[in-house]
Amino acid sequence: MIINRVRYLKGPNYFAYTPTICIELDLEGLEERPSDTIPGFNEKLLETLPNIGCHTCSKGYKGGFAERLHRGTWMGHILEHMAIELQNLAGIDVIRGKTIMMGKKGHYQVTFDYKEPQSGLQAFLAAKEIAEAILNEDEEIDVQVYVKQIEDLYYQNKLGPSTEAIFKAAQEKNIPVERIGDDSLLRLGTGSRQKYVQATISSQTSNIAVENACDKSLTKSILQGCGLPVPEGVMADSIEGIFDAADRIGFPLVIKPYNGRQGQGVITHIKNKDELFNVINCLEAYVKKYIVERHIEGHDYRMLIVNGKLIATSLRLPPYVIGNGKETIRRLIEKENGNPLRGEGHEKPMSKIPLTHTVTCYLEKTNRTLDSIPKQGELVQVAGNANLSTGGKAIDVTEQVHPTIKKMAIGAAKAIGLDIAGIDFICEDISMPLDHSRTAIIEVNAAPGIRMHHYPSEGEKRDVGKAIIDYLFPSREDAAIPIIAVTGTNGKTTTTRMIHYFLSTDKTKVGMTNSDGVYIGEEVLDQGDCSGPISARMVLAHPEVDAAVLETARGGILREGLAFRQCDVGVITNVSEDHLGSDGMDTMEDLVKLKRLIAEVVLKTGYCILNADDPKVAAMEAYTDGEVIYTSTDAKQPIVEEAIKRGQTVWFVNGQGMIFHSSAGVTQPFMECSLIPITISGMARHNIANLLQALAAAHSQGVSMEVLRKKAVTFMPDANLSKGRFNLKKLNERTIIIDYAHNEAGLKAIYETVNAYHRNRLITVLAGPGDRVDEELIRLAKVAAVHSDLFIIKEDDDLRGRKQYEVAELLQEAAVKAGLQKDRAKVVLNELDAFVNAWEASKPGDLLLFFYTDFEYVEQFFQRVSSNRLSKK
C-alpha cells in the first residue's frame, strides 16, 4: 500500500463539517484481495483490536463493521476503522470516517475525524503497520506501543485543558475561534470584532493589572491598603534575612520564591527553627529573593472571578501518598503518577507529582527523603502547597461560599484590576462569615488555570470557559463580522466584486478575496488566485474588516475545507462541468455536493441565495437552514412563480428587461437592466444573473434599494472594478473584449453576449487548462470554433502535467473537426504572442475576444498598442 497524498481539511469540507484527514491511498495488489479472501486476517484483526468489531459502520448497528469484514471489504475501509479505533484507545474521542473509491482502480480516499493533526496521521500510519503485520503473519503485535505514540503526540500538541475549555465554549456558542501558533493563544471572533485569549488572559485584561499580580509584594500592599486580609510577611534576599524574618514574624512560617509561579518552590507550615534549617539547606540556588510569611492555619482555596462575578471555588488538597510499609515514597509517587488521570504539565485533569527538588525539600523538613518507607496506612504529604501543578487535587465547593468571602474575592480582583483572576486564600471554613484574623489572601493570579474547575477530583464541574466567553462576547453578533461566501462554476468573481462594491461605505470596510487578489477596502494585500481558505483567513483575521466577501472555489475546499464554520450569506451562482476527473470529483453529483457545502453552512439567521435558473442549484434549498432567496433572469420560471406565491424573497427580470424585487407578497420594480453597465446594455445575460445575486446579498445585509440603484449604475465592467471580466476596449476601429472564461458554460455565455455586437469577423484567442480531461478540452474547442472566424490557440505557462503542444494540438484538431479550416485554427503558444498575432491579423470592424490566463500579458499587450509598437492595418 502506498500513501500518495495527505490532506488536513481543517474546516467544513466535502466529507464532514468537522476537521478531517483525507489520505489518498493506492492499495496496489490488495485491490484484488478483499478481507473475506485473506485467510485468518479478520480473526487476527478482531483479536488485535477487539473493540473494532463493535463499530457500527454504514450498517448503523453495533457489530456492523465486523459483518462487513466477514462479507468482504477493502483495505482502505479497514484502515479507516483502525485509525478511528487507535485514536479512541489513545483517549481521543472521534467516531466518523468514510472511504471513497477514486477514478483510478485501486485508489481510494480514506477519510476520518481528527482532533490534532500529528496524532491523527500517526493513527493511520500505525493502522497501516498493524495491517501489514497481520498480512505478514507476524506473531507479536504490541498495540499499546502504537497507542502510546498516538497519545504522546496528542498531548504534546493539543491545547491545554484551560485553553481547550475556552475553545470548546466558543464553538458551543458559535463564536469563531482559531488557535494561533503552537501554544495557548486563541483568536476569538473575526475582523474588527475579534479578541484574543492567552491561557486565561484576555485582550481586555489590563497590562498594569497583570504586572501588579506578578509582583507578590506589590499585590500584598494593594490588598492591604484596601483593608483586605493578607498574611504578615517580609521579603528576604539572603539566608540571614530569612532567619531574621522568622524571628520577627514567628512560627509557623511559609517561604515562597518572590517571582514564583504555579506553587513551585513554596514550603508551608515550617513549625520551628530546626525545620527552617532543613528547608534552608535545600532551597533552589537560583532563587535570589523570597517572601517569608506567617503560616495561616486552614484550608487552601481557589476562587475564580470573571468580570466581577464569582464563577467557581475549589478546595485544593496538597499531594500525598499512603504508605504500605514496604515501598519508598519515591515508588509510591511513581505508582500514583501512573493514574491515567495524571499527565505531564497541564495535559490531563491532574498533574503528575513532580519528583523534583521541591518535593525533596518539603520531605527534608520532617527528616524524610524519597527513599523513606512510610508505615502501613500512613498518609504522607509530599509537597507544601496544594497547587494542581505540583500534583494537588481539587474539590468543588462553589455552593458553600459565604457571601462575605465571595465579596472579599471579588474585591481583591477589582483592587488589582483584573477582569479574570484566581484568588488563592486560606481559611478554616469557607461557609462561615469572613474573619480577618483567621483568613488571608495569599495570591492573586492573573492567568488562573481553570482545569481544576472543569475537572474537579470531587464535586460539580463548573464551566469557567463558558463564563469567559460570555464575558467577552454576549452574543455571536458581538464576535463575528458578516461573512458572504460565493461559490459556483462561473460568475463567482464578478458576483463577489459587486457585493464588495455594494456593501462598502465610508464607515464599513469590506474585505474581499477573489481569483485575482485579497482586498481590504481598496487596499490590495495579495495578488493572484486568492479564492482559497488561506486568503479567506487573511481577511477574517484583519482587525479593520467590518464584513467579508469571500469567493470560495472548489480547489480550496478540497485542499483544506472552508476557512469558516458558518456564513451569514451563501451565494451559489451555478454548477456545470468543470475540473471533473481531478481531486476525486469524477461526476456532476460530486461537484454539486461540493458546491452545496456553502448552502449547508449558512446560519439559521442567514440567507442562502440560489440561482433558480439552474435546477441543480435551486434544489439546494433542501440543504440549508438559512432563508432562501431565489434569483432568476426569467420571470416565468416556475420556481420563481411558486416562491413569490409563498411570499419568499425573489429577484428576477421580466420579459422587458426590468429587474424586480418581491418579498412578503409585495413586488416592486428595481430598474431596467439596460441602464446598468455590468449588463452590457442588457445583452450580457450571465452578468444579469450575477447582478441579481449581488443585489440579493447586499440587500439582505441592510443596503437600501436607493443605495443599490446608485451603486449599480456606477459599477463599471472595466479593469478597475471588474478586472478581466468582459472588459471592453475600442482601438483602431476594432473592439477588444477581455474575459477569463475557461470552461464550456462560461464560453457559451460570452459568445451569447458578443453575438449581439455588430462586427465583421470574430477572432478568438483561447487556451485549454492542462488539468482538464480531453473531452472537456474538446468541447471548449468546438464552442470556440463554431463562433469564430479565426481561432488562435495558445497554451498556459503552467502546462499542469501536459507536454508542450499536447493541449494546443488537441484543441486544433477538435476545431477542425467542428468545421473550421486548419489555417483558421492557428497555434501560437505564448499568450502575449497570441494576442499580438490576433491584433495583426485583424481588420477594422473586427471583434477580438481574448480569453486570458495571466492578466499581465493583457496589460503588456495594451502597453505595446499604446506605444505604437504594433502594426495597424
Shared domain check, 796 and 703? no
Residue 751 to residue 783: CA distance in whole angstroms: 9
Q: Residues 269-273: contacts with CB within 8 Å, 24+ apart? A: 269/295, 269/384, 270/295, 270/365, 273/243, 273/246
Q: Are strands 290-294 and 253-257 parallel, antiparallel or unpaired?
A: antiparallel
Distances (CA, A) of 533 to 496, 539, 555, 853: 15, 10, 10, 22
Residue 265: predicted pLDDT:
67
Check residues 16 and 294 and name the one with the higher pLDDT.
16
State in Å, rounded, how far the first CA of the chain is from the last one: 63
Q: CB–CB of 329/487 below 8 Å? A: no
Residue 477: predicted pLDDT:
95
Shared domain check, 686 and 617? yes
Asked whether residue 843 is domain-assigned, the answer is yes
- CA angle 236-242-246, nearest 5°? 120
Residue 359: predicted pLDDT:
82
Q: Is the peptide bond before 50 cis (omega within 30 degrees of 0)?
A: no
Q: Which of 308, 304, 302 is nearest to 419 (CA)?
A: 308
Shared domain check, 105 and 67? yes
Asked whether residue 244 is domain-assigned, the answer is no
pLDDT tens, 444-465? 999 999 999 998 988 999 999 9
Asked whether residue 536 is domain-assigned, the answer is yes
Q: How does DSSP classify residue 585?
A: B
Three-class secondary structure of residue 427 per DSSP: strand
| Residue at a domain's end among 681, 712, 743 | 712
In total, the chain counts a number of residues equal to: 873
Amino acid at 525: L
Check residues 261 and 677 and name the one with the higher pLDDT.
677
Chain-centroid distance of CA 443 in Å reads 37
Ordered DSSP codes for 126-166: HHHHHHHHHHTT-S---HHHHHHHHHHHHHHHSPPHHHHHH
Shared domain check, 662 and 540? yes
* Sign, CA torsion 246/248/250/254: negative
Continuous H helices in 173-328: 207-214, 216-225, 239-249, 273-280
Q: What's the CA dihedral at 791, 794, 799, 803 to 10 degrees?
A: 80
Mean pLDDT of 32-54: 94
Residue 565: predicted pLDDT:
96
Residue 286: predicted pLDDT:
64
Question: Where residue 873 falls among pLDDT bands split at 50, 70, 90?
Answer: very low
Three-class secondary structure of residue 597 per DSSP: helix
Continuous H helices in 265-356: 273-280, 329-337
Q: CB–CB of 441/412 below 8 Å? A: yes
Mean pLDDT of 154-183: 93
Mean pLDDT of 683-696: 96
H/E element, 21: strand 20-26
Place of cell 479550416: 821
Q: Are strands 393-396 and 567-572 parallel, antiparallel or unpaired?
A: unpaired
Q: Which of 392, 405, 511, 385 is nearest to 455 (CA)?
A: 392
Shared domain check, 630 and 500? yes
Mean pLDDT of 35-48: 95
Domain ranges, residue 19: 2-157
Shared domain check, 57 and 152? yes
Specify the CATH number for the domain of residue 618: 3.40.1190.10
Asked whether residue 282 is domain-assigned, the answer is no
Instruction: Quote the mean pLDDT of the chain.
Output: 91
Q: CB–CB of 595/570 below 8 Å? A: no
Question: Where residue 281 falls among pLDDT bands split at 50, 70, 90?
Answer: low
Residue 870: predicted pLDDT:
60
Question: Where residue 262 falls among pLDDT bands split at 50, 70, 90?
Answer: low
- pTM for the predicted model, two decimal places: 0.86
pLDDT at residue 104 tops 90 = no
Percent of the chain with pLDDT over 70: 96
Place of cell 464599513: 508
What are 302's three cell numbers?
481557589
pLDDT tens, 232-249? 777 888 877 888 878 787
Ordered DSSP codes for 451-483: HHHHS-SBS----HHHHHHHHH-SSHHHH---E
Give the chain's radius of gyration (CA, Å): 35
pLDDT at residue 255 tops 80 = yes
Q: CB–CB of 127/86 below 8 Å? A: yes
Residue 871: predicted pLDDT:
56
Question: Where residue 505 falls among pLDDT bands split at 50, 70, 90?
Answer: very high
Residue 572: predicted pLDDT:
98
Distances (CA, A) of 455 to 97, 262, 462, 591, 663: 29, 17, 8, 45, 51
Asked whether residue 210 is domain-assigned, the answer is no
Specify the CATH number for the domain of residue 838: 3.90.190.20
Q: CB–CB of 269/384 below 8 Å? A: yes
What are 526's three cell numbers?
495579495
pLDDT tens, 509-544? 999 999 999 999 999 999 988 999 999 999 999 999
Q: How does DSSP classify residue 800?
A: T
| Residue at a domain's end among 686, 712, 738 | 712
Residue 520: predicted pLDDT:
97
**Within a 10 A sphere around the Cβ of 468, how many other Cβ atoms?**
26
Question: Where residue 284 falls among pLDDT bands split at 50, 70, 90?
Answer: low
Three-class secondary structure of residue 836 per DSSP: helix
Burial of 604 (0-12, 13-18, 19+ CB in 10 A): exposed
Check residues 173 and 282 and name the one with the higher pLDDT.
173
Residues whose CB is less than 8 angstroms from the CB of residue 712 and which lie 6 or more positions away in sequence, other chains included: 502, 671, 676, 678, 691, 695
Mean pLDDT of 161-187: 94
Q: Which of 762, 809, 769, 812 is nearest to 789 (CA)?
A: 762
Residue 497 to residue 551: CA distance in whole angstroms: 9
Residue 422: predicted pLDDT:
97
Question: Where residue 226 falls among pLDDT bands split at 50, 70, 90?
Answer: very high
- Tabulate helix, strand, coil % of the chain (nearest 5): 40, 25, 40
| Residue at a domain's end among 137, 157, 177 | 157
pLDDT tens, 576-605? 877 666 667 778 899 999 999 999 999 999
Mean pLDDT of 476-494: 96
pLDDT tens, 305-318? 999 999 999 998 88
Q: CB–CB of 36/42 below 8 Å? A: yes
Amino acid at 574: N
Question: Where residue 770 falls among pLDDT bands split at 50, 70, 90?
Answer: confident
Mean pLDDT of 724-736: 91
Asked whether residue 314 is domain-assigned, the answer is no
Shared domain check, 730 and 706? no
Shared domain check, 777 and 681? no
Shared domain check, 823 and 705? no
Q: How does DSSP classify residue 29?
A: G
Shared domain check, 531 and 631? yes
Residues whose CB is less than 8 angstroms from the CB of residue 456 and which lie 6 or more positions away in sequence, other chains included: 314, 394, 395, 396, 462
Shared domain check, 756 and 663? no
Residue 535 to residue 429: CA distance in whole angstroms: 56
Mean pLDDT of 91-115: 93
CB-facing half-sphere around the CA of 797: CA atoms within 13 A: 9
Shared domain check, 729 and 705? no
Place of cell 487573511: 538
Q: Are strands 483-487 and 547-551 parallel, antiparallel or unpaired?
A: parallel
- CA angle 302-308-310, nearest 5°? 40
Asked whether residue 184 is domain-assigned, the answer is no
In 649-742, DSSP assigns E strands to 649-653, 658-663, 666-672, 725-731, 734-739
Residue 12 to residue 432: CA distance in whole angstroms: 52
Q: How does DSSP classify residue 18?
A: S
* Sign, CA torsion 30/32/37/42: positive
The structural domain count of the chain equals: 3
Residue 498 to residue 697: CA distance in whole angstroms: 10
Residue 190: predicted pLDDT:
98
Q: Are strands 350-351 and 342-343 parallel, antiparallel or unpaired?
A: parallel
Asked whether residue 269 is domain-assigned, the answer is no
Amino acid at 13: N
Categorise residue 60: left if φ over 0, alpha if ψ from -120 to 50, beta otherwise. left
pLDDT tens, 374-429? 889 888 888 766 676 667 788 999 999 999 999 999 999 999 999 999 999 999 99
Residue 223 to residue 226: CA distance in whole angstroms: 5
Residue 171: predicted pLDDT:
96
Three-class secondary structure of residue 677 per DSSP: helix
Amino acid at 866: S
